Amino acid sequence: MNLSFSKELARFNNFDFQSFLGNVNRKDIERVLLKESLSELDFLSLLSSSALDYLEPLAQRANNCTLSNFGRVILLYTPLYISNYCVNDCEYCGFHSRNVASRKKLTTQEVRQQVEILEDMGHKRLLLEFGEESQRACRQFLI
Ligand code: SF4
């Protein structure tokens, strides 16, 4: 699988978020709530101030989606730490840039080995953990 968030993000480089969000009205929110499948712009509409009066129907819709996709289960994920380089400074996080801890980014080979070990242990769902650092980031990650 080839993931590239930056490519997806680049699609919105010239998008006027302020203008879009400012133009969303109540009818737009009601239309989105009735849709079977939501587009990216539909989701964005739900972040507008016009959606504030629809928090309860939004919560019910989200709950229905969760139940239909996952049922009444609790899914546990095994974290796989890929890189702890980060330029940010979130107080609660050990990856923050002021932390003097040693830094490491796994190679593709190391990631593959770690995944195989976790698979052999019976883990089926992995949560890939990265810091945010463009110079060493895993922008395109093959697994
Ligand atoms: S890894 Fe995430 S949470 Fe941690 S400092 Fe970087 S941006 Fe913040």
pLDDT value, residue 142 = 39
Cα–Cα nearest to 124, from 114, 113, 115: 115
Q: Ligand 1: distance of its center to the CA of 12 in Å?
A: 23
Tell me how far apart the alpha carbons of residues 85 and 132 are, in angstroms, rounded to a whole number: 7
pLDDT in tens, 112-138: 999 999 999 999 999 999 998 876 655
Q: Ligand 1 centroid to 120 CA: how many Å? A: 30
Position 136 scores a pLDDT of: 62
Q: How far is the CA of 110 from the centre of ligand 1 (A)?
A: 22
Provide the pLDDT confidence category of residue 4 given band limits of 50, 70 and 90. Answer: low
| Ligand 1 pocket check for 131: Cβ under 6 Å | yes
d(CA 125, CA 112): 15
Closest ligand 1 atom number to CA of residue 97: 5
The finding on whether 142 has its CB within 6 A of some atom of ligand 1 is no
What's the mean pLDDT in 20-41? 96
Q: How far is the CA of 132 from the centre of ligand 1 (A)?
A: 7
- Nearest atom in ligand 1 to the alpha carbon of residue 129 is 1
Question: What is the model's pLDDT at position 2?
Answer: 52
What Cα–Cα distance (Å) separates residue 81 from each residue in 111, 128, 133? Answer: 9, 6, 14
pLDDT digits (tens, 9 = 90+) for 47-103: 999 999 999 999 999 999 999 988 998 888 999 999 999 999 999 999 999 999 999
Ligand 1 atom with minimal separation from the 96 CA: 5
104 pLDDT higher than 60: yes
Domain ranges of the chain: 2-70, 78-142
Q: State pTM to two decimals.
A: 0.55
E strand or H helix that includes residue 2? strand 2-3
